């Protein structure tokens, strides 16, 4: 197993390979049965067992042909602050989260509010595989094959009312298994304008690399919005609420001068503490220029016609 180690990642932020190997040895030695070991296995950066695959996935024309990030990096170098703020903490801690049974409430300004069991939600529309490039607000990016369907399919099923202008995502928060430090205002929340949420690139996501999401990547359901910085892509969602007013978001509340509501990838707008003009693709050594809208300008730029994106960052 190869852990990529680009020069810009401090070694302290990478789970040492020895730690993975020790855990695997532990599991092997103790001969944990599948059921007993499932929670543990979910937290490990290894390919899942057959029961965790998602079956046939339609290939999506929205996919990039760029080389994919290694599974090991995509499932271990992670931000999921409820499980700790270091990049390897979610991998160590997220196995504590029970992702079944799980329900997602869709509520607010809709004609048909409904609580979905996660397995019904998974079957609401055909799953497709989309290989998206994603960019974190920090200077790194990855290319990940996600599995899901457009969030629009779910939103249409609940019939948004005319007054609905925004979509708020509320994520799971359980102080018994997550941090109680007030790093952010828990639960982590995010939001999109309704037209962004209905855009076909916005993916309601259940899997990656053909398998169910590992816990640290936002199991059992998250969103992926590839033209925005990573923090917009809320993980482990429990409520989706349609609203008239722009919802507060966790990062905007904690540092409004650093994180705006839109957070479209924009090489011309620097984060107050660093430039966002270039990025390092995990697995590559040389930095590359960051593209407007993360390379998805052709599909999404028209959503922002007439807006000053330096002001509305």
Ligand X SMILES: Nc1nc2c(c(=O)[nH]1)N[C@H]1C(S)=C(S)[C@@H](COP(=O)(O)O)O[C@H]1N2
- Assess 223 for contact with ligand X (CB under 6 A): no
134 binds ligand X (CB under 6 A): yes
CB-hemisphere CA count at 13 Å for 7? 4
Total residues belonging to the chain: 313
Q: Which tokens in the block code for residue 78?
A: 């992670």
- Which residue is closest to Mo ion by CB? 230
CB of 127 to ligand X, least distance (A): 18
Residues that bind Mo ion (CB under 5 A): 79, 136-137, 230-231
Nearest distance in Å: CB 37, ligand X:
23
Q: Cα separation of 10 and 15, whole Å?
A: 11
Whole-number minimum distance, CB 31 to ligand X, in Å? Answer: 31
Whether 250 contacts 190, CB under 8 Å: yes
Task: State yes or no: residue 153 binds ligand X (CB under 6 A).
Answer: no
- If one asks whether residue 192 binds ligand X (CB under 6 A), the answer comes out as no
| Cβ 185 to ligand X shortest distance, Å | 12
Question: Considering only residues 15, 60, 141, 217, which one is a binding residue for ligand X as defined by CB under 6 A?
Answer: 217
CB of 188 to ligand X, least distance (A): 4
Binding mask 55-94 for ligand X (x = CB under 6 A): -----------------------xxxxx------------
Give the residue with the Cβ less far from ligand X, 44 or 234. 234
For residue 80, the partner it binds in ligand X, Mo ion, none, with Cβ less than 5 to 8 A by kind, is: ligand X
Question: Is residue 281 involved in binding ligand X (CB under 6 A)?
Answer: no
User: What does the block give as tokens for 267?
Assistant: 């090489």
Binding partner of residue 235 among ligand X, Mo ion, none, CB cut-off 5 to 8 Å per kind: ligand X
Least distance from ligand X to the Cβ atom of residue 237, Å? 8
Q: Binding string, 231-270, against ligand X, x = CB under 6 A? A: x-xxxx----------------------------------
What are the two backbone dihedrals, phi and then psi, of residue 76, each rounded to the nearest 5 degrees? -130, -25
Q: Does 136 bind ligand X (CB under 6 A)?
A: yes
Per CB under 6 A, 276 contacts ligand X: no
Provide, rounded to whole angstroms, the least separation between the CB of residue 302 and Mo ion: 26
Nearer to Mo ion, 132 or 231 (CB): 231
Residues making contact with ligand X (CB under 6 A): 78-82, 134, 136, 171, 188, 217-218, 230-231, 233-236
């Amino acid at each position: 197993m190869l852990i990529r180690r680009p020069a810009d990642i401090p070694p302290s932020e990478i789970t040492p390979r020895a730690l993975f190997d020790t855990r695997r040895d532990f599991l092997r030695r103790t001969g944990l049965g599948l059921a007993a070991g499932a929670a543990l296995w979910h937290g490990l950066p290894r390919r899942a067992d057959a029961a965790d695959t998602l079956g046939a996935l339609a290939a999506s024309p929205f996919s990039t042909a760029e080389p994919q990030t290694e599974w090991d990096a995509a499932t271990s170098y992670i931000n999921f602050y409820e499980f700790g703020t270091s990049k390897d903490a979610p991998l160590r801690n997220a196995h504590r989260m029970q992702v079944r049974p799980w329900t997602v409430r869709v509520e607010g300004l809709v004609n048909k509010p409904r609580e979905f069991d996660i397995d019904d939600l998974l079957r609401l529309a055909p799953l497709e595989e989309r290989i998206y490039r994603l960019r974190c607000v920090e200077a790194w990016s990855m290319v990940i094959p996600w599995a899901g369907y457009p969030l629009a399919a779910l939103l249409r099923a609940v019939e948004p009312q005319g007054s609905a202008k925004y979509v708020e995502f509320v994520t799971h928060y359980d102080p018994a298994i997550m941090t109680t430090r007030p790093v952010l205002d828990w639960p982590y929340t995010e939001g999109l304008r309704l037209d962004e949420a209905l855009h076909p690139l916005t993916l309601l996501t259940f899997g990656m690399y053909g398998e169910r999401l590992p816990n640290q990547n936002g199991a059992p359901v998250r969103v992926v919005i590839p033209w925005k910085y990573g923090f917009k892509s809320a993980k482990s969602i429990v409520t989706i609420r349609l609203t008239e007013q722009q919802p507060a978001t966790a990062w905007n509340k904690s540092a409004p001068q650093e994180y705006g509501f839109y957070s479209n990838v924009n090489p011309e707008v620097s984060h107050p503490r660093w430039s966002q003009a270039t990025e390092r693709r995990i697995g590559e050594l040389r930095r590359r220029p960051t593209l407007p809208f993360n390379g998805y300008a052709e599909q999404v730029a028209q959503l922002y016609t007439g807006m000053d994106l330096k002001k509305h960052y």
